Amino acid sequence: MPVRINNIRLSIEDDPKSLIYIAAKTAKIKVEDIRNFKIIKESVDARRKGKIDFVYQVIFECPNEMLVVEKVGSKDVLYEEKQEALKIEYGKEKLSHRPVVIGLGPAGLFAGLLLAQHGYKPIIFERGKCVDERDKDIDIFWKEGILNTESNIQFGEGGAGTYSDGKLTTRIKDKRCDFVLEEFVKAGAPQEITYVAKPHIGTDILKTVVKNIRNKIISLGGEIHFNSKVTDFKIVDGKINSVVVNGNIEVPCDVVILAIGHSARDTYEVLFKKGLMISQKPFAIGVRIEHLQSMIDENQYGKFAGHPRLKAADYRLTYTTKEGRPVYSFCMCPGGIVVAASSEENMVVTNGMSEYARDKENANSAIVVGVNPSDFGSSHPLAGVEFQRHYERLAFEVGKGGYLAPVQLVGDFLKDSLSKKIGKVKPSYPRGYNFALLKNCLPKFVVDSLKEALLEFDKKIKGFAGYDAILTGIETRTSSPIRMERNEYLESVNISGLYPTGEGAGYAGGIISAAVDGIKVAERIMQKYRPIEE
């Protein structure tokens, strides 16, 4: 069993190659006795003015490991039990048909991958296009304003996360997270994502990674069909019997993994009409804020801003208003851009995106306010969807059409004044913008909460509420506005064989948690059914 050492500190000027020597000294052994030395966590401690440290956890093997740990007698030197690999005990029931996965975002991708690895030969339907063709459609939309409602930032290979920052941070503690990261690395992601405190892949690398995982699924006997929208679900005696693709192709099935994402509103409506048990769920809406990345770096790193060992600085901000509303930063993209993320006609939606290098001029983040079902104005299960649509249409209107974004300087937003010229920060939204009063496309409680929170955030990051900072409207797709109710077996509570999964079903929030949820659902299916026979 290996030895783990926590809390090894190196100054910003120290060479990381010295880690193995420090580990040997801490463990009171010779460097030559260390085998399979590995960094398992790296984080930056910039809390002290004028000093930045890198903090490490390392793991290694050596002779007499338990004796070494006992001899050192430190809480930071531990005997590490090896993590057991995921074990799957296959069920005994026979599938009449190959399992169907709907959607090729993180949940569908990893559900499909695990099923393929274990011989279940899944059939995956993705309404959008493969990532290379999707790229072309997004480029046309950003340049010409011609929206493809089936191939865009929300729909297509890799899901919405492909065109974000590829952030892999998560609050869940699950050994399946390691499996996801390892598969990403095998598919071309940088090794560092397995140990840095805030891992990210970047949109540019993530495109290649998802293609490689797709090809792996196919090589293992799975099928992937793009431009294949599931338009109907045939239910017989409370059990899924078949799905209809593109309106005319009926595919029989025993099990269906619903990994449709948080923007598949038309599919929500179909499922609701079919009787799927759906409930309302809280989410959040707001705006994208942009600052110069150099300002964020200076606030976070002080005199070390721009140091070659430091990457573009990020931040995470939270606040609760006097009225009890949560306001927080979401999907922070260092060195990135604000992107046009609409998926329905005549609605404006924004998101954030960074490439691996995070080397663009601006930092951007959503600043969003919590929305509760009581705000929807209706008890209908899909009322949250209509709430989102209402404000997305308003954003389209106040942006003056053409999917141009409504933009306002923070200083003018705080004063309810229409902005007239751009200052130091240039909007990065690729479709273009018009100055507008953002209060005309957001609920009043959101506007009031944002104003209150911006001033508080400015106390934490000096200049955060600076006059020239840019607000771009609007951010509405923070998470699904619905939850598809499921039982302890992760199956729909009222339609047998249907497995709601991931962010679109209301059970995840981000790439890793969605992927993990897809894995859990695939495991449940494998525990019930045996692999497909040749």
pLDDT tens, position by position, 254-271:
999 999 999 999 999 999
Q: Is the domain of 454 the same as that of 520? A: no
257, 299 Cβ separation under 8 angstroms: no
Q: How far apart are CA 343 and CA 213, in angstroms?
A: 25
CA 311 to chain centre: 20
Higher pLDDT, 226 or 163: 226
Strands 53-61 and 77-79, by their bridges, are unpaired
Residue 511 has pLDDT above 80, yes or no: yes
Nearest to 94, CA basis, from 507, 530, 424: 530
Q: Is the domain of 367 the same as that of 470? A: yes
Amino acid at 115: L
User: How would residue 81 be classed by pLDDT, with cut points 50, 70 and 90?
Assistant: confident
User: How would residue 361 be classed by pLDDT, with cut points 50, 70 and 90?
Assistant: very high
Domain assignment present for residue 398? The answer is: yes
Q: Is the domain of 302 the same as that of 419? A: yes
- Angle between helix 511-528 and helix 106-117 axes, rounded to 10 deg: 40
State which of 47, 79, 111 marks the end of a domain. 79
Domain assignment present for residue 132? The answer is: yes
Task: Tokens for 226, please give them.
Answer: 């793009």
Q: Is the domain of 404 the same as that of 459? A: yes
Q: 416: helix, coil or strand?
A: coil
Q: Is the domain of 496 the same as that of 447? A: no
Q: 488: helix, coil or strand?
A: coil
367, 329 Cβ separation under 8 angstroms: yes
Domain assignment present for residue 147? The answer is: yes
Angle at 129 between CA 274 and CA 490, to 5 degrees: 40
Q: Which pLDDT score is estimated for 533?
A: 76
Q: Is the domain of 274 the same as that of 287? A: no
Q: How far apart are CA 499 and CA 526, in angstroms?
A: 13
Q: Within the chain, what is the greatest distance between any pair of CA atoms? A: 72
Measured between its terminal Cα atoms, the distance across the chain in Å is: 40
Q: Is the domain of 388 the same as that of 352? A: yes
**For the ranges 41-50, 154-163, 389-398, which has the lowest average pLDDT?**
41-50
Q: Long-range contacts for 19-25 (Cβ within 8 Å, ≥24 apart)?
A: 19/56, 19/58, 20/58, 20/60, 23/58, 23/60
Question: What mean pLDDT comes out for the span 164-193?
Answer: 89
pTM for this predicted structure? 0.95
Q: Is the domain of 268 the same as that of 326? A: no
Q: Which pLDDT score is estimated for 50?
A: 85
b/e sequence 257-291, b meaning 16+ C-beta within 10 Å:
bbbbbbbbbbbbeebbeeebbbebbbbbbbbbbbb
How do the residues of the chain divide into helix, strand and coil, expressed in percent and rounded to 5?
30, 25, 45
Task: Tokens for 40, please give them.
Answer: 């398992």
281, 480 Cβ separation under 8 angstroms: yes
Residue 338 domain boundaries: 282-475
Angle at 337 between CA 333 and CA 343, to 5 degrees: 100
Residue 49 has pLDDT above 80, yes or no: no
Q: What are the φ/ψ torsions at residue 301 (nearest 5 degrees)?
A: -110, -10
User: How would residue 171 be classed by pLDDT, with cut points 50, 70 and 90?
Assistant: confident
Domain assignment present for residue 533? The answer is: no
Query: Which residues are CB-neighbours of 417 under 8 A, at least 6 positions away?
Result: none
Q: For the chain, how many structural domains are there in total? A: 3
Q: 526: helix, coil or strand?
A: helix
pLDDT digit string (tens) for 9-43? Answer: 999 999 999 999 999 999 999 999 999 999 999 99
DSSP 8-class letter at 213: H
Residue 505 has pLDDT above 80, yes or no: yes
Report the percent of the chain where pLDDT is more than 70: 99
The pLDDT mean for the chain works out to 96
Q: Is the domain of 303 the same as that of 430? A: yes
Question: What mean pLDDT comes out for the span 322-346?
Answer: 97
Residue 162 has pLDDT above 70, yes or no: yes
Nearest to 257, CA basis, from 483, 476, 524: 524
Domain assignment present for residue 534? The answer is: no
Q: Is the domain of 311 the same as that of 250? A: no
DSSP 8-class letter at 254: S
Q: Which pLDDT score is estimated for 508?
A: 93
504, 258 Cβ separation under 8 angstroms: yes
Domain assignment present for residue 166? The answer is: yes
State which of 79, 108, 136 marks the end of a domain. 79
Question: What mean pLDDT comes out for the span 224-243?
Answer: 98
Nearest to 50, CA basis, from 412, 301, 266: 301
Task: Tokens for 169, please give them.
Answer: 């941070």
Query: Which residues are CB-neighbours of 488 under 8 A, at least 6 positions away?
Result: none
Q: Is the domain of 511 the same as that of 465? A: no
User: How would residue 534 be classed by pLDDT, with cut points 50, 70 and 90?
Assistant: low
Domain assignment present for residue 133? The answer is: yes
